Chains A and B, each alone.
Chain A
C-alpha cells in the first residue's frame, strides 16, 4: 500500500453537530476546499441530500468544476471509531488518531470535540477516485456500554485502536471487534491500529501478536502514532483502497441516508430549509 497511494488532504473539517445552522452562512468549499486544484468535484452519483448540502451547498459556492466526462468517481463511506474509553482528561485515542488524519493536529488535553456530529476527510487514490470518509466518533457513549445500534448501522469501515504500551488494550480491542462482527454489516472493513508507535520503548504488545490476531480475523493492521503522525494517513488510504470502488446501489453509504436504494426515494426534511438558505449571500 505504501508509496502507491497519493494522499491528498482536502482540509478536513468538523461537520456541525445539532443546533447549528450552516445554510448559506458560511461556505465550506471556500473555507476548506479551495486549496486543492480539484477542490470538490461534482459527485458522479446521487448523494444523500443532507450530505450534499454540506459538501457542496449550492454550485455557485464551489470552484469551477471540470466537465463530468473527465471526472473520476467520488465515493463516500461511513467510518466508525472504536477503542478503549478515554481515561481522565485524555481524549479518546481513536479521536486523536482521526484528528491527526483530518486536521493534522495532536492535542491530547483539549476539551473533547463538542458539538461535532462527525468529521469528514477525503482521500484521493491513484486512479483519481476520491473517497470521502464520514467519520463517526462514539461521543463517549461507549464508556458505559451505551453505544446505540445506530452507530454501527451502515458503517462501511471501522478503525479499532489499541495502545501498544498497554497489553490490556488489545484485549479490549478484541471485544470491540467481536461487537462489530455481531452488530455491523458483515462486509465491513475493519482496521486494527496499534497506536503510540512513538513510544515503542515501552511496548507491551508485540507486532507479531497483533498481526497474527489481525490475520486470523481478516482485519487490516498497522501501527500508528497520533502524536507524530506516523502511519496515520497510510492506514486511512489503505482502507480507502480496500473499500469497494463500485458501491452497489443497494449498499447505502454514509449513514444510509442516500435514499437511492430501491423503491420510493427518501424524503429530505431539510429541503425547504435549504431552499431558503440557498439565496443568501455566501462569502465566496
Chain B
C-alpha cells in the first residue's frame, strides 16, 4: 500500500463499483477497498450463512432451506428496467459478458384489496379488470397521445404543453379516473408518492415512455434481473476495474480518512498503514454514517429511512398466476399512505435460492415510528411467511459536494424499484470527480499485435 493512487474507492456497492470500473477504463489508478470480505456492500447478495450472520448472529440457518451456496439474497430490492440507463452502461462496458439476465415474469398493482397484472400486451389490456370499458377507451386515447408525441410536431400535441402543463391537467384532459391516475403514476411512471401530479408533465411522460419501451423490449414485464442475484452487478464492474488495472482489497478495515490542515483529503488509514490518493469516493458508511458523533466533521446526513422485510416463502405469491418472479406495487392512496409499498420477488429461476423457495422483499419509505406496521398490507399479500428478516435503514446523503476537499460521498440506495437513480448518482459523482460529463462513447477496437 505504499504507492500513491489517483482515486481510492471505499465500499464495493454497485455505485462505487461502476465508478471504479469507469475510472479505471479512463486510465485512473484506482485502489478499491471494502471492510467486508465480500463484494457488494449494501447492494450485495448474501448466501444463507452471510444472511444469518448479518441478521441473527447467534443462529445458524435451518438445514431445510437447503445448500448455503444456492442462495444469493439481495439486501436491496431492485430490478433493472430493460431500456434504462443501467442497461446502457452494462452494454457499453461489455460487462454483459460476465452476466446472464432473465426477465421478471410480471408486474402487478394492488387495487381495492386485490392485485392485478399490469397489462403487457393489448390482449391483456382488453381483459384487464383494472379499468371499465369506457375508461379503457379513454386510457387508450391517452396512451396513443403519448406514443404519438413528437416535440417538433405541434399537430401531435393536442393543445398540451408537456413542459408547462401539469400532469393533473393532462389526466383531466383525457378524463381519466383517479384509480387510473394511480395506476399510471405509480405502476407505470413508478412515482413513489403523488407530488408529481402538480408538476410539469414532461418527467412523467419520460417515465411512462421508459416503462412502455422497456415492457415492449422483452415482453412480459419491463424488468430484467441478473442470474445469481443483484450482487453480480458490482462484481462484474469490479472485474472491469481490475482488468483495467484497478487494485482490489476486501476485508480491509478503514480506520481514518486522513485530511490536511485545510480539511483536504490526503489518504486513508488502515491500522498503521496510510495509503495516499488525490481523491476518495465512498459510500456513507465510511464517512461517519450511523457512527456516534465524535466531534469530527459531519460529512453525511440522514434523509429518511427505508424499511425492508426479506421474506422467505415456500410458495409463489397468491394471485400472481404462480409467477416465478414479480413486482407488486401498492399505490399509497390504496392504503392511506404518502409512499407506495413495493414487493419484489425472485426465486430459483434466477438462481438465488433453493428450488421451491421464493424470496420476496417488502419495502417502503418509513412514515411513522412503527415501520413494521406500515408494511403489513404488503406482508398480507404473501401468504404464510416461512421466515422474515426486517431492517430499517437510514438513507444518507453527503453534506458537501466534495469539490473543496476531494471527498466524494455517494448516497445510500433509495426506495425506488430500479437502478435509474443509481446511474444518476454515478453520473453526478463522475462529473464532480472528473470535472466533465460522463459520456459513454464508442471505443475503437484495440487489437493486440
Same complex for A and B? Answer yes
| CB contact under 8 A between A259 and B100, given known A114-B243, A144-B250, A264-B349 | yes
- Which residues on B sit within 8 Å (CB–CB) of A13? 447
Q: Within the complex, which residue of B103, B247, B251, B445 is in contact with A20, where a contact is CB–CB below 8 Å?
A: B445
B98→A150 contact, CB < 8 A? yes
Q: Within the complex, which residue of B21, B39, B97, B447 is in contact with A50, where a contact is CB–CB below 8 Å?
A: B97
- Which residues on B sit within 8 Å (CB–CB) of A127? none
Q: Within the complex, which residue of A114, A117, A144 is in contact with B97, where a contact is CB–CB below 8 Å?
A: A117
Chain A binder among B119-127, B154-162, B233-241? B233-241
A137 nearest in chain B by CB position: B243
A residues neighboring B (CB under 8 Å): 13-22, 25-26, 31, 48, 50, 112-118, 139-141, 143-146, 148-151, 153, 252, 255-259, 263-264, 266-267, 269-270, 273
Residues of chain B from 77 to 121 with CB closer than 8 A to chain A in the complex: 82, 87, 90-103, 105
| CB contact under 8 A between A19 and B443, given known A117-B243, A153-B228, A269-B87 | yes
Q: Is the interface of A mostly helix, strand, loop or mixed?
A: loop
A267→B244 contact, CB < 8 A? no
A149→B349 contact, CB < 8 A? no
Contact with A along B423-435 (1 / 0, CB 8 A): 0000000000000
- Which residues on A sit within 8 Å (CB–CB) of B65? none
- Which residues on A sit within 8 Å (CB–CB) of B238? 141, 148
A262 nearest in chain B by CB position: B349
> Does B245 sit at the interface, judged by CB under 8 A?
yes
C-alpha gap A263/B95 in the complex (Å): 24
What is the count of residue pairs linking A and B with beta-carbon distances less than 8 angstroms? 133
- Which residues on B sit within 8 Å (CB–CB) of A19? 25, 92-94, 240, 443
C-alpha gap A281/B224 in the complex (Å): 32
C-alpha gap A145/B324 in the complex (Å): 35
- Which residues on A sit within 8 Å (CB–CB) of B99? 257
> Does B242 sit at the interface, judged by CB under 8 A?
yes
A146→B232 contact, CB < 8 A? no
A116→B235 contact, CB < 8 A? no
User: How close is B2's CB to chain A, nearest CB, in angstroms?
Assistant: 14
A140→B87 contact, CB < 8 A? no
> Does B218 sit at the interface, judged by CB under 8 A?
yes
Q: Within the complex, which residue of B100, B243, B324 is in contact with A257, where a contact is CB–CB below 8 Å?
A: B100
Q: Within the complex, which residue of A26, A117, A273 is in contact with B91, where a contact is CB–CB below 8 Å?
A: A273
| CB contact under 8 A between A266 and B101, given known A20-B94, A139-B243, A150-B235 | yes
